[in-house]
Amino acid sequence: MKIKRIILLVSFLAGTILFMVWHSYQLFKDDKLNQHLQYARMYTRIVLSFRKVYTDETIRLTGKHNLHDFSAVKDENLIPLPITITKNIMILLSENHKGSAEIISPYDFSGEDKKIYFFKDRFSKEAWEYFSKNQGDEYYEIESGDDGDLFRYASPDRMSGSCIQCHNQLAAGRTQWNESDLAGLIEYRIPLYGKASGENSEIFLTLIFYMMLAFTSLLIILFFMSREYFRTKDLEHIVQTRTEELVLAKEEAEKANHAKSEFLSRMSHELRTPLNAILGFSQIMITESPSSEINEYSRQILSSGKHLLELINEILELSKIEIGKVDLEMVPVVVEDTIENCINMIFPFADTHGIHLINQTDPREKNIALADKKRLRQILLNLISNAIKYSKEKGTVTIQSEKLENGKIRISIADSGSGLDEEMKHKIFQPFERGKASNSSIQGTGIGLTISRELIHKMGGSIGFESQENIGSVFWIELNSDSVNAS
């Protein structure tokens, strides 16, 4: 009877475990499907929104609406085709999930690459037929293959009003286009479970958990080993599992951060090309337009464009630093000479704001720090310009340097502003945090301090501040001294 009971108990536990594993797998599968579906929808909205801005605004503002290059000859003066930028963005987004993306159509819009414009398989044909008969927004399925399950997603690419004129002139199999006509498919192919070890390990860890739970229960029932032995083994297993999870989570976080920085870097390059065209066109309008009203609008466009270009450049700079693409040339630098050079450069900016700059460095002293001269000047200019912008009217900004007892060289910049509250002190070095300036006319991107901190750390130094509300702030940096040249 005891053996039968044990067999029944083992069978019951085994059946329960199998059911729980199957149920967990189904939940995991549904969760991955919904997750990829949300990403595909978001990516499609991003691609279509970006292309709409590109076709409706960028091409029109640059005056190159009729200058698409459909021949094999490349002209650097022409802006890229909308389909080229659309495809590049799709591929870039899909790479975040180890997938692929394509634009599929029976019509040849490029005049160059005809290989991508046909229906490759059953899914593409069915999606085309579905969108041809319905006004739906998406068509998707899970496709099984030798390499695992594949998430297939298609969205209709319909003709927009700003594109009709060009495509009717193409004569690429069709010349009578109307708005909302089905022109092609935007398709994504993403592995359902991904190729990253962190995603595959979720099912494996679930199976291990339930198997160990059953094994432990059986051992307790049969009393084959002591309780203390099992407690020790369980504790070791939990520690090992948690350690593996932490390692995997760290690797995934690093991959995600690197992918984000790489994406920002690529997108910043893509955005700067049309933005420079807008700035150039605005300058031409200012110089050649006889209307004062148009000139004023053009100046506003130019000012906003320059601010946006500055933001893009700083985002690009920050992304380069985060992915390790910034090379530093560490050389001996005379701190006092660098400070004097920065003050001379930024003096006109301080004068326009009515701020008095005070240089308290001793010109007779020659403190030599080990730093990248160009980057050090960039950091000091950023800190001094911040002090000028945040100081009160007719205030002062004081710059001084000193050699500390620990051998490091400190440079401090004190302003006469309103200071920082306790909440802002904890967020001051975070990207896009501008404190009280967020609701004021003070211009800035909120990235300068973040970049300065990263550069200082890469040079082996440190950065910090002291601040009191209604009194002002003192920002300082510390650098390693070059003891060889200093002696």
Are 311 and 434 within one domain? Answer: no
Are 187 and 248 within one domain? Answer: no
In a domain, 105, yes or no: yes
Spatial distance between the Cα atoms of 70 and 311, rounded to a whole number of angstroms: 34
pLDDT for residue 431:
74
Name the residue range of residue 305's domain: 225-322
pLDDT for residue 449:
86
Are 406 and 465 within one domain? Answer: yes
Query: SS3 letters for the chain?
Result: CHHHHHHHHHHHHHHHHHHHHHHHHHHHHHHHHHHHHHHHHHHHHHHHHHHHHHHHHHHHHHCCCCCCCCCCCCCCCCCCCHHHHHHHHHHHHHHHHCCEEEEECCCCCCCCCCCCCCCCCHHHHHHHHHHHHCCCCCEEEEECCCCCCEEEEEEEEECCHHHHHHHHHHCCCCCCCCCCCEEEEEEEEEECCCCCHHHHHHHHHHHHHHHHHHHHHHHHHHCCCCHHHHHHHHHHHHHHHHHHHHHHHHHHHHHHHHHHHHHHHHHHHHHHHHHHHHHHHHHHHHHHCCCHHHHHHHHHHHHHHHHHHHHHHHHHHHHHHHCCCCCCCEEEEEHHHHHHHHHHHHHHHHHHCCCEEEECCCCCCCCEEEEEHHHHHHHHHHHHHHHHHHECCCCEEEEEEEECCCCCEEEEEECCECCCCHHHHCCCCCCCCCHHHHHCCCCCCCCHHHHHHHHHHHCCCEEEEEEECCCEEEEEEEECECHHHHC
Are 360 and 437 within one domain? Answer: yes
CATH number at residue 471: 3.30.565.10
Are 334 and 315 within one domain? Answer: no
In a domain, 7, yes or no: no
pLDDT for residue 111:
47
In tens, the pLDDT along 279-324 reads 777 778 777 766 777 777 777 777 677 767 766 676 666 666 666 6
pLDDT for residue 332:
92
Are 347 and 455 within one domain? Answer: yes
pLDDT for residue 51:
78
What tokens were used for 188?
Answer: 């994504």
Those residues of the chain that have pLDDT short of 70 are 1-10, 13-14, 17-18, 21, 25, 59-60, 62-78, 97, 108-120, 146-147, 170-174, 193-231, 257-273, 289-290, 303, 307, 310-312, 314-325, 432-445, 483-487
Are 433 and 462 within one domain? Answer: yes
Please state, as a whole number, how many other Cβ atoms lie within 10 Å of the Cβ of residue 426: 10
Spatial distance between the Cα atoms of 454 and 447, rounded to a whole number of angstroms: 11
pLDDT for residue 10:
64
Contact present, 281 and 63 (Cβ < 8 Å): yes
Domain end (from 288, 322, 356): 322
Are 300 and 172 within one domain? Answer: no
Domain count, the chain: 3
Are 180 and 51 within one domain? Answer: yes
Are 156 and 262 within one domain? Answer: no
pLDDT for residue 72:
42
pLDDT for residue 63:
59
Q: Is this prediction's pTM over 0.75?
A: no
In a domain, 9, yes or no: no
